[in-house]
Amino acid sequence: MWPTHRDETPFAPEWGPPGRARRVMRVVGPVMGVVWAVFLLQPWQSAWASPPGWERTVSLLAVAGLALSFAWVVLTHAGPHGTRMPTGRAALFLGGQCVLVALACLAADQDGLVGLVFVCVSAVFLLRDPRALMVAGAAAVAVLVVPRLVTGWDTIDDLIISVFLATFAVFGFTQLVLRNRQLQLARDEVAVLAVERERERIARDMHDILGHSLTVISVKAELASRLFEVDAERARAEILEVQTLARSALADVRGMVSATRAVTLAGELAGARQAFDSAAIEADVPGTIEEVPDRLRELFAWAIREGTTNVLRHSAASHVRVTMTPDTLTIDDDGAGPDGDAPAGNGLHGLTERARQVGARVEMSRGPLGGYRLLVTTAPDGAR
C-alpha cells in the first residue's frame, strides 16, 4: 500500500498539533517559558527595598539583565527546533549570568541567589545534555555555602528544591521533545523508504510479468506469421493464443496494481512448456511440484518465469532442462551461454531480491548442457 498523504488524516504524524495549532504552539511555548521570569520579582523587590545607592542600581540592572538573557535563551534555544550552543560560548554565557546573579546580591542579599534557578534552566536549553545537571549541582552548593559565609545573610536552603525541580523538569521536557523530533525524522525516513521500496516492487513485477508475457506473445506471433501460408488453421490457433496471452498479461497488470495477482509454480511450469513448444525448443520440465515446500513455490515460480524469458530472448537454445528438488531449482540450456561482460538484467536483480527474502540465493553460470544455467537454492554452498 502507498503511504497515506498527510492531509488525509486528522493529525499529521509529527510532534505536536498540526497546521495552525503547531504554528501557534511555536509562539505560545516560548512565551510560557518567558513567563517564568516573574519569579525574578523576589530579588527585584528585595533590591528595590534596599537603601538608595549604586548597589541598588546595579542590582536592579543585574536582575533586569538576567531576565532578558533568560528570555533570549527561551526564545532562541527552547522548543522542538532549538539548537545546542557550542560548549565554549555556552560556558561564557552562563558565566555572564552568574556574574549578574552576584551583582543582584549586592542589594538583594540572599534573595539574589534565586537567579541561579534561571542559570540552571538556561544551561539545560543551551547544553542539551547531562552536563546541565552539573550546573544544578554547583548552584545547589552555592545556595548552601554562600549565605553561611556572608555576614547578615539568612540561609535559603529550600531554594535547593526549586533549583533541582526546575532543572530536572526542563531537562526531562527537552529530552522528550528531542526524542519526539528524532522519532518524527525516523518516521519520515521510513515513509520515504516505503515509497522507494514500493516503486522497486512495481518496477520488478512489471518487468517480470510483462517481460515474460510479451516475449511469449512475440514468439507465437512470429510462429503464426510463418504458418500463415503453410497451415492457416494452425496459424489461426496461434493468433488466438496470442489474444489469450495478451488478455492474461492485462489481467496480470491489473492484479499487480490491485495486489491481487497470484503466481503459482504449477501455472508457470505449464506456461513454460507451452512457450518452449511454441519456440520449437525441446524441454524437459517436471510434471509435479509436490516435493517443493510451500515457502519456496512462489520463488521457484518467479525463477521459472525469468529463466523461460531469458531462454526465449537470449540463448538461441534448442534444448532446455528444468530440474527441481525440495531446496533447489536449476534451468539449463544448450544455447550461447553466459556473457561474462554482460551485466545482470533487472529480472535477475528482482529474482535475487525475492530469493534473499526467503533465505535463498541465485547463481548464474555455464551449465552441463554447454549453455546458461540459472540456479536458485537454499542449500549451503557446496552441499549440492
Query: CA 63 to CA 337: how far, in whole Å?
Result: 86
- Which helix or strand (DSSP H or E) is residue 317 part of? none
Query: CA 374 to CA 329: how far, in whole Å?
Result: 8
Please tell me the predicted confidence (pLDDT) of residue 321: 92
Burial 317-345 (b: 16+ CB within 10 A, else e): bebbbbebeebbbbbbbbbebbeeeeeeb
The C-alpha cell at 229 is 501460408
Please tell me the predicted confidence (pLDDT) of residue 23: 56
Residue segments in the chain with a per-residue pLDDT below the cut of 50 = 1-19, 21, 24-25, 260
Q: Where are the domains of the chain?
A: 6-190, 263-384
Query: CA 136 to CA 265: how far, in whole Å?
Result: 69
Please tell me the predicted confidence (pLDDT) of residue 198: 66
Query: CA 238 to CA 203: how far, in whole Å?
Result: 29
Hey, CA dihedral for 121, 124, 130, 135, is it positive or negative? negative
| DSSP single-letter state for residue 7 | G
Q: What length is written for the chain? A: 384
Please tell me the predicted confidence (pLDDT) of residue 322: 92
Phi, psi of 335 (to 5 degrees): -85, -150
Q: Which of 311, 238, 298 is nearest to 262 (CA)?
A: 298
| Longest distance between any two alpha carbons in the chain, whole Å | 123
Please tell me the predicted confidence (pLDDT) of residue 341: 58
Query: CA 134 to CA 110: how far, in whole Å?
Result: 22
Please tell me the predicted confidence (pLDDT) of residue 61: 93
The C-alpha cell at 128 is 542539551
Tell me the CATH number of domain 263-384, given options 3.30.565.10, 3.30.70.100, 3.30.2320.80, 3.40.630.10: 3.30.565.10
Please tell me the predicted confidence (pLDDT) of residue 253: 66
